[in-house]
Amino acid sequence: MDKRNKGQILLVLGVLLLLLVNNFSLRHKLSDLQMELQNIRGSITAISFNDGGMEYRIMEELKKGASALASSETKLSFKNGKLMLDVTLVPKMLQPGSTYYVVSGYDKVEARAQNGTSFVASVPFDVVENNQVYAVIETEEGSFQEKLPEIYVEQYLSMEIRSMSLEENDKKVVMNLTAATEETATFLKSLKEVSAVVLNEKNEETDRLEMKETDVELPDSEHDYGFAHKAFTVNIPEELYEMDLFKVIVKLKNYGVTMTSDEIYQYSKDGTEMNGVMGAGFRISFEE
């Protein structure tokens, strides 16, 4: 074999070797690319799973009894002569197709959507019964019930006697009332039954006098913390002064709620006389 042919053979072998090396390199790079593509696909799947997984995890937590609500709010309202409880629910997660209810006693009311993030409903407020309220969420996964904080009328209704005076000449009592909350303002504005209850020395009721609404003396704006004001007056009959002792308290009645004051006036035959109030607030009770 001459040198020329030998050189050509070596050249061909070199080219073949180079092609083999390049092919191996390309196959290795292709394998790396396939591996990277698989990793990317896995990451995308993981992201999708996490997006749907958040819903899954929340549903699992609900099944274990965790709260489904980010927050809830309750307040009293007065509608058509009835005491109602307005409830606002803010779920942690809004699921398409879910229905939200508020349940109290035998009343179950569907909550309507509000502002895209919350749901509101009104249920009757039974002042005699224990008003335990529940949120119920019905989803494709099932139904979930959550107990809301207990409700006390006292946390919404707060009435105070701002001032009380007695006109000596005609024994006329004038009482100024202040509503300390928004709910009490509604209670006070619609108030129709205000009575001065006369008690004997044994705290037995002997008489009940209707108090009439009169012009209210408003506090100055700097010291006015109330939401509404009203004033009522009553004349104490002369025949009561023949008793050895009598006391006068005030009762306010509205929406099945009775608010009773401490003594606002007391008289005894020995000449002892007291007017004013021993306490500024009212005790709350309910009609049966």
Distance CA(7)–CA(18), nearest Å, equals 16
Provide the pLDDT for residue 103: 92
The pLDDT assigned to 120 comes to: 95
pTM over 0.85: no
| CA R_g for the chain | 39
212/234 Cα distance (integer angstroms): 6
Nearest-angstrom CA–CA distance, 178 and 251: 15
Give dist(CA 265, CA 62) in Å, integer.
57
* Angle, alpha carbons 187-193-199 (nearest 5°): 120
What's the longest Cα–Cα distance across the chain?
155
Return the percentage of the chain with pLDDT > 70, whole number.
74
Section 98-113 average pLDDT = 91
For residue 34, the Cα-to-chain-centroid distance in whole angstroms is: 56
User: pLDDT digits over 48-84, tens only?
Assistant: 444 445 455 555 555 545 678 889 998 888 887 788 8
